[in-house]
């Protein structure tokens, strides 16, 4: 009998197998480090110190974590509806436009906490709008959302550069970016939160969007596992034929799922644009949309898993930056390698070890 | 510069910019026609560019560099095959993963080996493919119209350029005139038909991926050791995705693939040329329009507004043998 | 010395897990004959043919071709041994030409150019010899189904097949196309080919076979010379004298018409007519059974009534109100409950926990949560009640549905649909893959629904089930209603209607 049909207990399917996949991904990353003549364990130690050693380091780690939570959630929501949204990167980029427009419009007049809700809505709306066309094309014209969202990433890049160079640029300045937002258009740092743990944030841009991200985790959890819409999305994602049987409308569900996914990606922009640089800059997303794919796969598309995975990637990004100072041989791009390996082993090869694990399980349990 | 000179100059750079697209899109053609969706073209190109630059630098031979590029690109293809054919994993996830691995690994290894911020050392002489002056180019140069076209567009390219254009009819010939091609096209449409005809679906698809690897190697080598004289960080710069768009735009057919790549190369050349220039009557056209146009056109095509693109039917679906 | 038989199977045995698909099968097929294999769905015909064509390996037994014992490891060996197969679902590359399809796998060299001329010539010769007229350069998807099938036959002949297996070949054909096929098969036989025809249609067996073997429940129960047997005998052999599952039920008290189907026609995605001008009424307080061998349009009929498939023409009325074209959600609101044929792909989401499936399709009901959110406590409580009432085991609403047995999975679906207290219930294959205990339980529930004055439409390929549950029976064949009967009608009479022999 084929091993594919043997049921495994949840703690193996959702515990042992994913951990095994991750360990292999990290093991190979270690091999890469070793192959360029560095000690992987030493590198790991430096990386963790660099990410968690001081308050400032933790602040940076959590800053990255925040971005990755948003994009991870974005990928996960689409994934639950059976859609692979590779467009979080572009949706986040355009979301930045929404956030920036709100900040530019309001920062003269109101304090940040008044701006914030509008900025959240603005970022989400713009991100969702950017996801709408691929969603509509998938739902109504059958164009594959993977391809169209890739295309829309590039279109977003062109559009944003155009807008920043030709529309938003501050006259007389060279840098293609908007003017700096006043405090009314900025999201304040979370120094007080760090202080609670007796740590100093320093210049790290860890800011209020982290809390928004956690709220979104809760809302996504509520959406996916507690709402009627989420139930319909999951049904469609797992079994399109059962969705038809249950009378779940395909087009509507696909489009709504993609709008939510795009909205979450758009909100990612709050963190770098309003929380860190206080202006809209070219390429501010910096690959966070793609990290979202790894985060979502690793976090098994569950908000809790996503928070952990995002934190792990936050550590990698911050620690990796530090590591590259200490060990100049290991550049920051090592993180990208690890990210790729995580996607490969937690995603494409997720069942590679299953047959072996099934055999071991059967032997041990005496079946 | 008069308009004819501009025309010749844009045409020349159109050719140069199209070559990596042609190789890569043909690479994608073989894998997708065999039913394996390949988002990882970008990564193959990048990894191959890096390997080609490294080996050309070490050996001093562009040809060894090219072989290295092909080798690494085949390696990436095989990982894709192992994930998506052997383990029946998600082909898109696998392709995305390989793109990241290539993007990261090239810089990590480049920095570790050469300490030039991820670049590889510059190549000179035989370590790169240099332009070939076709017979009579100098003599022809002064002939009106035909002369500059011959001397500046047709002549003066490196060997890989000519190979790219040769690869188009060759691909067509392989796909439509050989047994391998017939089976490859069949397996992308209906693997069960191939299986019941007594042909191994997996082995056939792996062979298709090897061809994809070879072509991807050429694309990378062109970037690093023909067009440029070194590997530069992220030098593929999204060309793999443009090639993917061209492949879709060409509806998965070899000659249209070449035309689509030339079109997208032309848009790129125009974008470069137009930087900061204005057109009479219209004014300055933002270069971003030309940059976005390939993607916009492809989306419009995908939406079925200009003809319908039928992808190979079995694309993206792992083959599970069942009765 | 008489020539060896074309095929000899001796003691072929094959199990899939707990399912014993082929039990000690012996079969001898004479060279140059058309040999029919008949049996109900699930009798094991397809498994046997798959073993012969190298898809499966027999657990035990021997295969002799032309008197020589061989091991058929894969399709390649089968082809090399002169066995060709025409699958029920054609194995053709749709955007290829006829010639390309015929050549695939037998190209005659690395370059097509070498083989093409020869292949074209050979194809022409085969076409002329066997009356298989197809344009070699036609694209498959532009050909009618009957011609596509001829391409399949040509493929086999081109590979030098001496033995041709046809699996339910007329399922997709119009009667005229089927007649044409039979003429071709006769020509093939007269030229010395051996033909194995798998079918469940008695008419075909009587029309063209020389010999016929009957399979029932994995066993080969009889082989007869066609000339020496009758439709009645075969029907009986096929269906067997089974102990009728008795379901205790009183007289039906039919009331007014609740569900009415008028001149309904349904085409599938390929444009083939699956339901052809079907009309019937179901009254409250009665069970109308639709008998028929699988693939005769019952599935499409059910799906059209349930709103899953759009009818091409005709009317569906619920309580006199036209509902054709409404979506399943709307139909549920109108009181139509649906126990689908395929619980794995439709009735359940196997990766869901049990309680999640207990509301599939009804999840928007206010009793499972007001507003946008689901009230999980209410759903779980509801699920627990159903689990208790229907004795679903293990009684754990948090268990993944895939981990329940077939019978318990089906009970989850039945509980969900019946406990809604619908006005009418349409049911497809209520007990497929379900153990005996659960069968009785489900049957009782269905009768209770009738007694509660609900309208029940039951589709099943199990004739016993139809006979023991229904108050009235209609028989479908080739998309049409071919007859109506009462449950006490003889099995034979029904069997003949089901086989299109009447």
Domain of C32, CATH number, reads 3.40.50.300
CA distances from C127 to B72, B269, C132 (A): 50, 55, 4
- How many DSSP H helices and E strands does chain C contain? 16, 20
In angstroms, what separates the C-alpha of C488 from chain B's closest C-alpha?
38
Closest residue on chain B to C92 (Cα): B193
Report pLDDT for B49: 96
In angstroms, what separates the C-alpha of A136 from chain B's closest C-alpha?
10
In angstroms, what separates the C-alpha of A242 from chain C's closest C-alpha?
4
d(CA C140, CA C104): 14
What is the H or E stretch that residue C264 is in?
strand C257-267
Strand, helix or coil at C77? helix
> Are A245 and C350 in contact (CB < 8 Å)?
no
In angstroms, what separates the C-alpha of A154 from chain B's closest C-alpha?
7
Report pLDDT for A120: 97
Residues C320 and C403 in one domain: no
Chain A CB contacts of C376 under 8 Å are 226
pLDDT at A1 over 60: no
pLDDT tier at B321, thresholds 50, 70, 90: confident
CB C457 within 8 A of CB C259: yes
Chain A CB contacts of B104 under 8 Å are 333-340
pLDDT at C244 over 60: no
Sign of CA dihedral C118, C120, C121, C123: positive
> Are B93 and A343 in contact (CB < 8 Å)?
yes
C312 φ, ψ to 5°?
Answer: -80, -40
d(CA A89, CA A287): 7
Q: Per-residue pLDDT averaged across A93-99, rounded?
A: 96
pLDDT digits (tens, 9 = 90+) for C78-102: 999 999 999 888 899 999 999 999 9
Report pLDDT for A134: 95
pLDDT tier at C133, thresholds 50, 70, 90: confident
Domain containing C220: what range? 7-239
Nearest Cβ partner of A227 from C17, C308, C374?
C374
Look up residue C122 and give its two tokens: 């050979």
* CA A112 remoteness from chain centre: 25
Report pLDDT for C411: 94
pLDDT at B130 over 80: yes
Residue among A142, A241, A242, A367 with most chain C CBs within 10 A, to mutate: A242
In angstroms, what separates the C-alpha of A233 from chain C's closest C-alpha?
12
> Are B183 and C104 in contact (CB < 8 Å)?
yes
pLDDT digits (tens, 9 = 90+) for A163-197: 998 888 888 888 889 999 999 999 999 988 888 88
pLDDT digits (tens, 9 = 90+) for A302-316: 999 999 999 999 999
Percentage of residues in chain C having pLDDT higher than 70: 97
Task: Give the domain-ending residue among C219, C239, C259.
Answer: C239
Residues C47 and C181 in one domain: yes
Residue among C22, C104, C119, C140 with most chain B CBs within 10 A, to mutate: C104
Report pLDDT for C247: 73
Number of neighbours of residue C18 by Cβ within 10 angstroms: 5
Residue among B25, B99, B102, B112 with most chain A CBs within 10 A, to mutate: B112
> Are B195 and C93 in contact (CB < 8 Å)?
no
Look up residue A227 and give its two tokens: 């709402």
CB C189 within 8 A of CB C223: no
Report pLDDT for B316: 80
pLDDT at C138 over 60: yes
The vertex-B191 CA angle with B187 and B197, nearest 5°, equals 95
Nearest Cβ partner of A245 from C330, C346, C402?
C346
Report pLDDT for C471: 94
Sign of CA dihedral C437, C440, C445, C448: negative
pLDDT at B1 over 60: no
Report pLDDT for C54: 87
Where is average pLDDT lowest: A127-141, B185-199, C37-51? C37-51
pLDDT at A141 over 80: yes
> Are A247 and C327 in contact (CB < 8 Å)?
yes
- Sequence-separated (6 or more) residues with CB below 8 Å from residue C135: C98
CB B223 within 8 A of CB B49: yes
Residues C231 and C290 in one domain: no
Going by the DSSP 8-state scheme, the letter that residue A178 receives in this structure is P
> Are A344 and B289 in contact (CB < 8 Å)?
no
Report pLDDT for C482: 92
CB B235 within 8 A of CB B95: no
| C498 lies in some domain | yes
In angstroms, what separates the C-alpha of C329 from chain A's closest C-alpha?
4
Residues C231 and C360 in one domain: no
pLDDT digits (tens, 9 = 90+) for A23-44: 999 999 999 999 988 899 999 9
Residue whose pair of structure tokens reads 């469940």 in the numeric block = C200
Closest residue on chain B to C55 (Cα): B323
Which residue has better confidence, A234 or C295? A234
> Are B183 and C94 in contact (CB < 8 Å)?
no
In angstroms, what separates the C-alpha of B85 from chain C's closest C-alpha?
20
pLDDT tier at B279, thresholds 50, 70, 90: confident
Residues C128 and C115 in one domain: yes
Enumerate the β-bridge partners of residue C275: C266
* CA C123 remoteness from chain centre: 33
Nearest Cβ partner of A246 from C342, C351, C361?
C361
| C2 lies in some domain | no
d(CA C205, CA C496): 12
Residues C142 and C218 in one domain: yes
Residue C405: burial class (beta carbons within 10 Å; 0-12, 13-18, 19+): middle
Nearest Cβ partner of A245 from C340, C351, C364?
C340
Residues C412 and C288 in one domain: no
Interface predicted TM-score (ipTM): 0.89
pLDDT at A2 over 60: no
Percentage of residues in chain A having pLDDT higher than 70: 98
| C51 lies in some domain | yes
Report pLDDT for C405: 84
User: How many domains does the structure of chain C reveal?
Assistant: 3
Burial string for B133-165 (b: 16+ CB within 10 Å, else e) reads eeeebeebeeeeeebbbbbbbbbbbbbbbebbb
> Are B197 and C106 in contact (CB < 8 Å)?
yes
Q: Domain locations in chain A?
A: 39-328
Residues C409 and C496 in one domain: no
> Are B198 and C105 in contact (CB < 8 Å)?
yes
| C499 lies in some domain | yes
| C342 lies in some domain | no
Nearest Cβ partner of B186 from C50, C76, C93?
C93
Closest to B202 measured CA to CA, from B178, B216, B218, B183 = B183
Q: Does C97 touch chain B (CB under 8 A)?
A: no
In angstroms, what separates the C-alpha of A106 from chain B's closest C-alpha?
29
Look up residue A340 and give its two tokens: 């790729």
Q: Does A300 touch chain C (CB under 8 A)?
A: no
Q: Chains touching chain A at 3 or more Cβ pairs under 8 angstroms?
A: B, C
pLDDT at C1 over 60: no
Report pLDDT for C494: 83
pLDDT tier at A11, thresholds 50, 70, 90: confident
pLDDT at C325 over 90: no
- Sequence-separated (6 or more) residues with CB below 8 Å from residue A11: none
Q: Does B185 touch chain C (CB under 8 A)?
A: yes
In angstroms, what separates the C-alpha of B108 from chain A's closest C-alpha?
6
Report pLDDT for B177: 93
What's the mean pLDDT when you consider all of chain B?
89
Task: Give the domain-ending residue among C421, C447, C463.
Answer: C421
pLDDT at C112 over 80: yes
Q: Does B197 touch chain C (CB under 8 A)?
A: yes
Where is average pLDDT lowest: B276-280, C199-203, C496-500? B276-280
Nearest Cβ partner of A226 from C340, C351, C373?
C373
| C160 lies in some domain | yes
Closest to C22 measured CA to CA, from C57, C70, C53, C71 = C57
Predicted TM-score (pTM) of this structure: 0.86
pLDDT digits (tens, 9 = 90+) for A273-326: 999 999 999 999 999 999 999 899 889 899 999 999 999 999 999 998 888 888
Residues C56 and C138 in one domain: yes
Name the strands in the sheet holding C480-485, side by side, starting at the edge strand that comes first in the sequence.
Answer: C336-339, C424-428, C455-459, C286-291, C472-477, C480-485
Report pLDDT for C256: 94
Kindly report the length of chain C. Answer: 502
Chain C CB contacts of A249 under 8 Å are 327
Residue among C300, C373, C420 with most chain A CBs within 10 A, to mutate: C373
For B140-154, what is the HEC assignment? HCCCCCHHHHHHHHH
CB C198 within 8 A of CB C168: yes
| C341 lies in some domain | no
Residues C361 and C272 in one domain: no
Report pLDDT for C481: 94
pLDDT digits (tens, 9 = 90+) for C266-323: 998 777 889 999 999 999 999 999 998 777 899 999 999 999 999 999 999 999 999 9
Task: Give the domain-ending residue among C398, C421, C444.
Answer: C421
pLDDT at C492 over 60: yes
Chain C CB contacts of B183 under 8 Å are 104-105
């Amino acid at each position: 009998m084929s091993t594919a049909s043997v049921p495994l207990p949840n703690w193996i399917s959702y515990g042992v197998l994913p951990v095994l996949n991750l360990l292999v991904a990290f093991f190979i990353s270690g091999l890469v480090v070793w192959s360029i003549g560095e000690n992987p364990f030493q590198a790991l130690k430096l990386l963790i110190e660099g990410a968690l050693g001081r308050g400032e380091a933790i602040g940076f780690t959590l800053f990255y974590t925040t971005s990755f939570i948003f994009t991870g959630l974005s990928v996960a929501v689409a994934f639950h509806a059976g859609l692979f949204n590779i467009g979080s990167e572009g949706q986040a980029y355009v979301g930045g436009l929404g956030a920036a427009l709100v900040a530019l419009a309001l920062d003269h007049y109101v304090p940040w906490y008044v701006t914030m809700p509008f900025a959240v809505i603005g970022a989400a709306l713009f991100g969702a709008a950017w996801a709408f066309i691929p969603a509509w094309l998938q739902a109504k014209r059958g164009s594959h959302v993977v391809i169209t969202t890739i295309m829309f990433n590039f279109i977003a890049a062109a559009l944003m550069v155009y807008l920043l160079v030709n529309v938003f640029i501050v006259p007389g300045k060279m840098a293609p970016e908007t003017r700096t937002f006043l405090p009314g258009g900025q999201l304040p740092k979370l120094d007080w939160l760090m202080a609670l743990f007796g740590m100093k944030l320093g210049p790290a841009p860890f800011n209020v969007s982290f809390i928004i991200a956690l709220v979104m985790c809760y809302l996504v959890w509520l959406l996916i596992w507690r709402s009627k819409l989420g139930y319909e999305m999951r049904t469609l994602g797992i079994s399109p034929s059962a969705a038809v049987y249950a009378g779940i409308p395909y087009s509507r569900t696909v489009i709504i799922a993609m709008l939510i996914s795009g909205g979450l990606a758009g909100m990612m922009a709050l963190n770098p644009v309003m929380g860190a640089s206080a202006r809209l800059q070219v390429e501010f997303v910096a690959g966070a949309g793609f990290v979202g794919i790894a985060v979502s796969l690793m976090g098994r598309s569950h908000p809790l898993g996503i928070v952990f995975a995002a934190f792990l990637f936050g550590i990698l990004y911050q620690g990796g930056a530090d590591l590259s100072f200490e060990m100049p041989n290991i550049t920051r791009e090592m993180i990208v390698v690890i990210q790729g390996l995580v996607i490969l082993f937690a995603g494409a090869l997720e069942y590679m070890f299953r047959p072996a694990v099934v055999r071991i399980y059967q032997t041990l349990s005496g079946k | 510069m008069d308009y004819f000179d501009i025309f010749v100059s844009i045409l020349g750079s159109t050719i140069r910019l199209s070559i990596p697209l042609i190789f890569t899109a043909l690479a994608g053609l073989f894998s997708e026609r065999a039913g394996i969706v390949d988002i990882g073209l970008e990564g193959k190109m990048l990894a191959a560019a890096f390997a080609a630059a490294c080996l050309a630098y070490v050996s001093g031979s562009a040809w060894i560099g090219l072989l290295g590029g092909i080798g690494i690109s085949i390696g990436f293809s095989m990982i894709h095959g192992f994930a998506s054919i052997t383990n029946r994993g998600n082909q898109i996830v696998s392709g995305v993963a390989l793109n990241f691995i290539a993007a990261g690994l090239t810089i990590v290894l480049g920095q570790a080996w050469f300490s030039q911020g991820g670049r590889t050392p510059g190549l000179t002489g035989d370590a790169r493919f240099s332009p070939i002056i076709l017979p009579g180019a100098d003599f022809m140069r002064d002939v009106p119209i035909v002369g500059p076209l011959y001397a500046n567009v047709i002549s003066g390219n490196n060997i890989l350029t000519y190979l790219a254009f040769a690869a188009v009819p060759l691909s067509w010939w392989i796909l439509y005139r050989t047994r391998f091609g017939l089976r490859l096209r069949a397996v992308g449409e209906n693997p069960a038909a191939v299986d019941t005809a007594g042909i191994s679906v997996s082995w056939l698809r792996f062979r298709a991926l090897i061809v994809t690897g070879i072509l991807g190697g050429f694309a990378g080598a062109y970037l690093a050791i023909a067009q440029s004289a070194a590997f530069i960080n992220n030098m593929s710069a999204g060309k793999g995705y443009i090639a993917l768009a061209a492949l879709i735009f060409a509806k998965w057919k070899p000659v249209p693939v070449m035309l689509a790549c030339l079109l997208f190369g032309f848009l790129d050349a125009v974008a470069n040329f137009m930087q900061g220039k204005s057109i009479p009557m219209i004014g300055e056209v933002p270069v971003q329009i030309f940059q976005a146009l390939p993607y916009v056109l492809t989306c419009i095509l995908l939406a079925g507004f200009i003809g319908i693109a039928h992808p190979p039917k079995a694309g993206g679906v792992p083959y599970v043998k069942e009765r | 010395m008489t020539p060896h038989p074309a095929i000899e199977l001796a003691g072929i045995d094959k199990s899939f897990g707990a399912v014993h698909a082929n039990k000690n099968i012996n079969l001898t097929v004479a060279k140059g004959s058309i040999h029919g294999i008949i049996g109900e769905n699930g009798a094991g015909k397809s498994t046997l043919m798959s073993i012969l064509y190298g898809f499966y390996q027999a657990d035990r037994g021997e295969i002799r071709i032309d008197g020589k014992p061989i091991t058929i490891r894969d399709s390649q060996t089968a082809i090399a041994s002169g066995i060709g197969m025409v699958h029920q679902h054609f194995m053709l590359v749709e955007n290829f030409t006829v010639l390309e399809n015929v050549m695939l796998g037998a190209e005659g060299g690395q370059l097509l150019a070498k083989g093409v001329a020869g292949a074209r010539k050979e194809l022409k010769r085969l076409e002329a010899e066997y009356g298989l007229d197809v344009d070699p350069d036609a694209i498959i998807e532009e050909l009618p189904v009957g011609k596509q099938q001829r391409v399949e036959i040509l493929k086999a002949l081109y590979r030098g097949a001496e033995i041709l297996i046809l699996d339910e070949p007329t399922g997709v054909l119009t009667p005229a196309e089927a007649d044409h096929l039979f003429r071709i098969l006769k020509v093939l036989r007269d030229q010395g080919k051996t033909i194995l025809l798998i079918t469940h249609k008695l008419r075909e067996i009587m029309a063209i076979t020389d010999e016929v073997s009957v399979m029932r429940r994995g066993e080969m129960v009889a082989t007869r010379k066609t000339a020496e047997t009758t439709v009645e005998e075969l029907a009986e052999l096929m269906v067997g004298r089974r102990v009728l599952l008795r379901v205790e039920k009183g007289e039906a008290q039919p009331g007014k018409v609740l569900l009415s189907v008028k001149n309904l026609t349904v085409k599938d995605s390929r444009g083939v007519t699956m339901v052809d001008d079907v009309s019937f009424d179901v009254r409250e307080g009665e069970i109308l059974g639709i008998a028929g061998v699988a693939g005769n349009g019952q599935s499409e009929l059910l799906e059209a009534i349930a709103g899953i498939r759009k009818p091409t023409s005709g009317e569906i009325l619920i309580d006199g109100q036209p509902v054709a074209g409404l979506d399943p959600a709307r139909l549920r609101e109108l009181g139509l409950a649906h126990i689908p044929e395929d619980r794995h792909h439709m009735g359940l989401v196997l990766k869901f926990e049990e309680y999640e499936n207990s509301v599939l399709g009804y999840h928007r009901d206010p009793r499972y949560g007001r507003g946008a959110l689901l009230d999980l406590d209410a759903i779980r409580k509801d699920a627990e009640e159903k689990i208790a009432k229907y004795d679903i085991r293990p009684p754990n609403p948090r268990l993944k549905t895939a981990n329940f047995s077939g019978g318990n999975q089906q009970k989850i679906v039945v509980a969900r649909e019946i406990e809604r207290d619908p006005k009418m219930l349409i049911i497809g294959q209520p007990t497929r893959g379900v153990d005996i205990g659960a069968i009785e339980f489900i049957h009782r529930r269905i009768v209770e629904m009738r007694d509660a004055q609900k309208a029940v439409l039951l589709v099943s390929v199990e004739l016993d089930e139809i006979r023991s549950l229904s108050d009235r029976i209609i028989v479908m064949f080739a998309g049409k209603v071919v007859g109506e009967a009462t449950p006490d009608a003889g099995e034979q009479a029904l069997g003949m209607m089901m086989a299109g022999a009447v």
